[in-house]
Each structure stands twice: as C-alpha cells, then as structure tokens.
C-alpha cells in the first residue's frame, strides 16, 4: 500500500511558521489533551483521506505518542481509524530508551492494529535481547530507519542476524541522499532486509524536505529499484516540511508513486 507518513503534517498547528522542534512540541500539545483528542484526530484523518490516502503511518512524535497516549486515546484512535477504513502501515518515529518506554510503544502499535515499528530505537543497542523478546511477544517487526548512517553497511551492522526476520530496515531516501549515498543503490544493497521505505525528497545541503522532483533524491530510480527487487511491503510518502504547506506536493507525490509502482 501507499501510505502517508504522519510526520508530513508536522507544521499544521503552527501554520508552517516555526522551526522543527517548535513544530513538534506544538503538534504534541495539540493532540495529547484527551477531551479534544477525538475531534482533532478525526479531522486529521479526514484531511489525509481528502488527499487520496487510505493508509497512514501514525507518527509517535505527533498525532499519537506512546509517551502520553492513555488506553482511552488508543481506543478512540482505533475506532476512528476503523470508521474511516484506514490501514495503519506502521507506527513511525522513535520507540524509547528504556524497557518501559519500548513496551509502551509496542502496546500502542498493537492497539492501532499495526505489526510494524518503523523508526529508531536506542534500546536496541543497549538491550537487544530484551527488544527481540518483546518483538516476539507482541508479534511485531522493527524496521530501523537510517539517519546518521553514511553507507548501508552501517545499517547491516545494526540489523545483525535480523532476529529471524523481525529486525530489518526502513530506508529513508532523503537521509541517504543527505549523507551523500545513492538512495536507489541503498534499496539494492539492503533488499534482503527491507521492511519499509520512507520515500522522501530533500534539498541539497541541509536535510530540508521538499516535493518530489524538487530535490536530490532520484525518486523514479528508487521506484524502479523497488520494482526490480520485487519489494512486497508498503511505501510511506513523507514530506515533513515546516516552512510551507506541503498539501499539493503530497497529493502529487501519491499520484507519482501510483504511476511508478503498482500498489501491492
């Protein structure tokens, strides 16, 4: 399926007028109050649906954060996702540094009917055996997203033995481009461990998101690479710009991906 990554909505609450950290803080404050959560989460889903998406990566730094999500938040989100017939392709973001934080993320994923964590997990590198145990207990996969890695070999070291397929990678095409590595080549390099992909374009230099075709990521070559390796999983459209409204760019991105790769 082709999904929208929830991080793409990061600037909505501040009107695309602030920096990244201020935008993240504001979106968290906007959603975490239980009394207003249902109305605000529903309006978010309606907006995503209006863009043409029927699948969503719920973003932990925004719309539903394991750090503050109560069972009531999760139940409301689950009911609304079912009401609008949304598939949650992953819980996306960061999943904790402690055992308690990681289990909160796992429970959240289970509560919104997704089987994939797609992002970063510091705990994996300090308590791997526990992480693998809990992935099995909750029947989840972990797709580690690249940020600082300059080469896929660095990601392979983090994936390790893969825990019988439970641990793999989520390629962020924008971050490989920012780090100076060909994102399409990364797809070939990591094809045996590829569980998810955040298809993103960025400007040269700083890691600034932009609409597809406006930056340095070879979007078409990435889509062709996914075709050639027989990629069977979901594609997450991501454009978390915070300096302008990406609505039109996201709508065009969906059409681009539909034309370049038949949804599985």
Q: Where are the domains of the chain?
A: 2-260
Looking at the chain, the whole-number percentage of residues with pLDDT higher than 90 is 94
Closest-CA residue to 236 (of 202, 184, 187, 196): 196
Across the chain, mean pLDDT equals: 96
The beta-strand segments (E) located in 44-163 are: 55-59, 87-94, 116-120, 141-145
Closest-CA residue to 165 (of 127, 193, 197): 193
Based on DSSP, count helices (H) and strands (E) in the chain, helices before strands: 10, 10
DSSP-derived letter for residue 238 is -
What pLDDT is stored for residue 262 in this prediction?
43
Residues 118 and 110: their CA atoms lie apart, in Å, by: 14
What pLDDT is stored for residue 243 in this prediction?
87
Q: Name the pLDDT band for 261 (thresholds 50, 70, 90).
A: low
pLDDT at 260 over 80: no
Residues 176 and 149: their CA atoms lie apart, in Å, by: 8
pLDDT at 264 over 80: no
Residues 117 and 145: their CA atoms lie apart, in Å, by: 10
Q: SS3 helix, strand, coil % of the chain, rounded to 5?
A: 50, 15, 35
Residues 53 and 30: their CA atoms lie apart, in Å, by: 23
pLDDT at 144 over 50: yes
For 76-132, the pLDDT digits (tens) are: 999 999 999 999 999 999 999 999 999 999 999 999 999 999 999 999 999 999 999
pLDDT at 140 over 80: yes
Residues in CB range of 135: below 8 A, 6 or more apart: 106, 141, 142, 163, 166, 167
Q: Name the pLDDT band for 27 (thresholds 50, 70, 90).
A: very high
Q: Per CATH, is 2-260 categorized as 3.40.50.2300?
A: no
Helix, strand or coil, per DSSP, at residue 145 = strand
């Amino acid at each position: 399926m082709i999904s929208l990554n929830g991080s793409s909505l990061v600037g909505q609450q501040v009107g695309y007028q602030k920096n990244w950290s201020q935008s993240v803080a504001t979106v968290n404050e906007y959603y975490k109050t239980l009394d207003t959560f249902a109305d605000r989460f529903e309006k978010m889903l309606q907006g995503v649906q209006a863009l043409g998406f029927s699948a969503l990566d719920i973003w932990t730094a925004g719309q539903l954060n394991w750090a503050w999500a109560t069972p009531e938040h999760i139940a409301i989100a689950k009911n609304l996702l079912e009401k609008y017939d949304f598939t949650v392709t992953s819980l996306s973001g960061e999943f904790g540094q402690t055992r308690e934080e990681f289990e909160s993320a796992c429970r959240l994923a289970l509560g919104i009917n997704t089987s994939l964590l797609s992002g970063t997990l510091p705990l994996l590198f300090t308590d791997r055996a526990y992480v693998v145990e809990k992935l099995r207990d909750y029947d989840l996969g972990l797709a580690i997203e690249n940020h600082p890695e300059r080469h896929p070999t660095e990601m392979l070291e983090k994936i390790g033995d893969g825990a019988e397929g439970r641990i793999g990678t989520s390629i962020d095409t924008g971050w490989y481009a920012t780090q100076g590595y060909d994102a399409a080549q990364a797809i070939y390099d990591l094809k045996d461990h590829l569980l998810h992909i955040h298809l993103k374009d960025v400007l040269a230099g700083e890691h600034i998101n932009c609409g597809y075709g406006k930056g340095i990521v070879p979007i078409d070559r990435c889509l062709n690479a996914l075709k050639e390796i027989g990629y069977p999983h979901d594609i997450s459209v991501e454009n978390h710009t915070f300096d302008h409204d990406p609505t039109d760019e996201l709508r065009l991105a969906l059409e681009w991906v539909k034309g370049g790769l038949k949804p599985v």
